[in-house]
Amino acid sequence: MVGASDSHPDIHWPAGFSPDQAHGFCRAQAVVHAPPSTAFALLTDVARWPEWVPGVTEARTGAVAGAFAVRFHDHPFEICLGEHVPHSRLGWSGIGSGVQLYQAWLLTPVADGTLVVTENVVRGPVARSIDALAPVWTERLNVLWLAQLRRRLGKADGGA
């Protein structure tokens, strides 16, 4: 099973959301042909997620700074920003029916643009059920996020 030893050492996990406590965990990375500031701006422009994030059909900011709501594959999620270090790291936690998640992002400048690392921890009865049926589902989600991010920002060498 994938666990904490597979996590990037610079990811900051909130209490209760380490990979060892997950029902689903994955890590993916890619190089995008854009500076970290551009990648960061795209990731934090929540209102535009439906234009490029796979499965997101609605996104709106909340009344409280750092809170937003998304509709992902027709399921509503309330999201709270957990970490926000401009141009280098992001993290948010989400709650939906039967599932809790934390998604972390690291952005590191490299010669051809930005190395983007994303990791997800997913917990709850829905995550446990899906993981039993399709164990690679969390990996596919992160790979899709990165593929779309690369398309939006231009390709560079790298992979999931």
Is 39 within a domain? yes
DSSP class of residue 7 equals: S
- Domain of residue 106, CATH code: 3.30.530.20
Domain span including residue 141: 22-45+83-153
**Amino acid 156: pLDDT:** 46
Is 160 within a domain? no
- Taking CA atoms, 46 is separated from 29, 43, 67, 115, in Å, by 21, 7, 10, 21
**Amino acid 103: pLDDT:** 93
Longest CA–CA span in the chain (Å) reads 42
Mean pLDDT per 10-residue section of the chain, whose length is 160 residues: 66 86 83 95 94 92 88 91 95 90 95 93 70 54 80 61
CA terminus-to-terminus distance, the chain: 19
Number of structural domains (the chain) is: 1
Is 28 within a domain? yes
**Amino acid 24: pLDDT:** 77
